[in-house]
Amino acid sequence: MSNPVKEQTPEERAVAAAESLAAEGLTVTARSVRDRSGVRMAIASEAARAWNEQQSKDDDVPEAPAAVQARFAALWREAVTVARAEFAEARAGWEAKIAKAKEDADAMAEDLGKVEDERDKALKAASDAEQEVTTQRSRADKAEGRAETLEGERDRLIGERDGLLTTVAQLRDQLRSQDKD
């Protein structure tokens, strides 16, 4: 009995192996075709080369028709025009924000200058007040020293007065006693 299925030639087996490898997502090489089909390396190499050439031709993209190119050029011009307008608008917005930020920075610098001037005046006033306190303390210390001196003189004079009053009282008593005699 004969087999109704016709036997494949080595070339046909190599082509079938190349298609099978590609369908599985594997790279079609002479070695992978030979391993899969069991043919000689020369046949596998020719089958892999032919299959890869055919695939690269199938992958080539033909030139776009003139009508498509014209429409693309018009779309591209419109896209560039819109992009430039959006860029100009965005740039103007950012420039306005930058200008506002610079104004704010200048105002803050001016305010800082005023605050620093006020601080310097306050420090000067504090220094002057401290100097005045020092001067007044010195005066107070001198006045206290004079007051202590005057108190000592007063106490001395009171003591001298008391002594003189005692002496006067004694002298009066002596005079009275002499007047009685």
Distance CA 119, CA 158 (A): 56
Q: What are 5-54's pLDDT values in tens digits?
A: 468 899 999 999 999 998 998 999 999 999 999 999 999 999 999 998 88
Distance CA 53, CA 23 (A): 16
For the beta carbon of residue 134, count every other beta carbon within 10 angstroms: 10
Residue 75: burial class (beta carbons within 10 Å; 0-12, 13-18, 19+): exposed
For residue 78, the surrounding DSSP H or E stretch is helix 66-180
Distance CA 36, CA 17 (A): 6
Q: Supply the pTM of this predicted model.
A: 0.38
Position 179 pLDDT exceeds 90:
no
| pLDDT confidence bin for 60, thresholds 50/70/90 | low
Q: What are 61-120's pLDDT values in tens digits?
A: 778 888 888 999 999 999 999 999 999 999 999 999 999 999 999 999 999 999 999 999
Q: Which residue has the tokens 């950012």?
A: 94
User: Which stretches of 24-65 are DSSP H helices?
Assistant: 30-37, 41-59
